[in-house]
A and B are shown apart, each in its own frame.
Chain A
Amino acid sequence: MDEHAFKRAFVDLLEQTTPADAQVLDRVMSRVAARRGGFSSRSRRRVLLAALAAAATFATAGTVFAATGNFPIRLNLVPFRSDGGPVTAKQPTGGSAPSNAPGKAEPASTTLAAANASFGHHVLTSGASTGAQLQAVYFSPAQPVPAGAKPGQQPTPATVSIRYSYLGTTATVWETFDPSSAPLSVDAIDQGGPLSKTSLGLGPIDIETVSGSSYAVVRTTAGGPVELMAWKTADGIVIYLEFSSPVSASTAFAFATAMG
């Protein structure tokens, strides 16, 4: 048999039986996400951000707030652990079992008014000027530290999450209340510069100031599009804002600064 003819027929067989649009990306990434978080990627994202939110330093009940502007932000650098594989960076501390942990049902969607009432604080929403369209509102009540929790594990604060459709992407906001006067403390992995986890992976995190207010901003690359922002308002509301696909800094800050 002609070797060239065989090769051509064999390659043709493989190409015809496995079309060009065949892909395993979703399967691979969801499995990796599940392994990293122990459950589905959607839940993992929410849990991760809830854990990040809980990383804010909840001190005792002092309630002295800055008069204007956001609270300062402190990056808490944690070492990168390379002994357990490529993605072993320490998760943000203080993240206690959130309400949507494995085995628990995700919170049912609610209305903004109901979330406001349950939350007990003013829920910040996107300004109408941004054009963001509200899609869903969720409320997760506070959760005590579960029995058998690790030492130092914090209770999960009540969380309002709101999903918006925004300029072709989905912007998801998580809001918790921090009664302390402490700065917002956000864990970052120390690996040649601070990196922080988002649902898309690790990205450089920096504290950026706009109109005198501080925001922790996670970008895809230094100076690149924005994936995640976090800040603590003068009223003690800790906000995490994530975009389903990264957006320009101006687009991200337009959304963040219009929240009220």
Chain B
Amino acid sequence: MKPLPGAIRRSCVEDQAEGIAALQRGDIRGLAALVNIHQLKALRTAFGILGSRSAAEDAVADSFIKVFDKIHTFDRSRPFEPWLYRLVVNTAIDHSRLARRESAFAEATDEVMTVDFDLRLEVAAAIKVLSPQERAVIVLRYYLDFDEKAVSEILQTPIGTTKSRLHRARERLRDELSQPNLCGSVSPLKERDLGRTRV
């Protein structure tokens, strides 16, 4: 008479669709399922905008509370991810007003040195100069892989605004990444520039 393993016990609501349906009928196990499925990606998304792990955790926790509050407005015939990440991104942007800008992305330098450490450091330094709204566009495009149309829908901005914001963010990133790094050496990213699509 051993109890069922936890994974089996919970399997009934671990699927996203079941989680949404459960939450819409008031079962908070549905929320737990949705958090389990999306929390890591949401945390990384929020980190990309806020540049702080603790601030990202705050924003993502707030985002899932909003999911809990608003799930009854979600149309199950539509994809869930854009709806969710709209909440995450907007919450992170709201939180960015409270965050200490100077400490953003400082944690990128705390990690153990790896082969790509320099790359990461440069990208962190470049991202830091962007506004939270520009970071949001970059995260949605390059981390979450949404196309421009989807990004504009998520941010609820005209497609032209999204394109110009993305273009401006790329330009600023290119400017930052073309600067000599702290050691005066050429950016590894520049060295890898083989003439393909430029950011």
Chain A CB within 8 A of B85 CB = no
Indicate if the CB atoms of A1 and B199 lie closer than 8 Å: yes
Hey, which chain B residues are within 8 Å of A246, CB to CB? Answer: 3-4, 9
- Tell me the complex Cα distance, A1–B174, Å: 7
Chain A CB within 8 A of B81 CB = no
- Tell me the complex Cα distance, A25–B178, Å: 40
Indicate if the CB atoms of B124 and A13 lie closer than 8 Å: yes
- Tell me the complex Cα distance, A1–B172, Å: 12
In this complex, how many residues of chain A approach chain B with their Cβ under 8 Å: the count is: 58
Indicate if the CB atoms of A9 and B108 lie closer than 8 Å: no
Indicate if the CB atoms of B26 and A202 lie closer than 8 Å: yes
Bitwise interface map of A from 18 to 56 toward B, beta carbon under 8 Å scored 1, else 0: 101011110111011101100000000000000000000
In the assembled complex, the CB of B192 is this many whole angstroms from the nearest CB of chain A, namely 5
Give the bracket for the number of chain B residues in contact with chain A.
Answer: 35 or more
Docked complex: A41-87 residues within 8 A CB-CB of B: 80, 82, 85-87
Q: Which of B2, B26, B119 has the most CB of A within 10 A?
A: B26
Hey, which chain B residues are within 8 Å of A27, CB to CB? Answer: 57, 61
Chain B CB within 8 A of A257 CB = no
Hey, which chain A residues are within 8 Å of B28, CB to CB? Answer: 29, 32-33, 36, 87, 200-202
- Tell me the complex Cα distance, A184–B195, Å: 77
Chain A CB within 8 A of B71 CB = yes
Q: What are 8 pairs between A and B in contact, CB < 8 Å?
A: A1-B178, A1-B193, A3-B197, A28-B31, A28-B68, A167-B1, A167-B3, A246-B4
8 A-B pairs with least C-beta separation: A14-B44, A9-B119, A201-B27, A201-B29, A3-B197, A201-B28, A202-B27, A28-B64
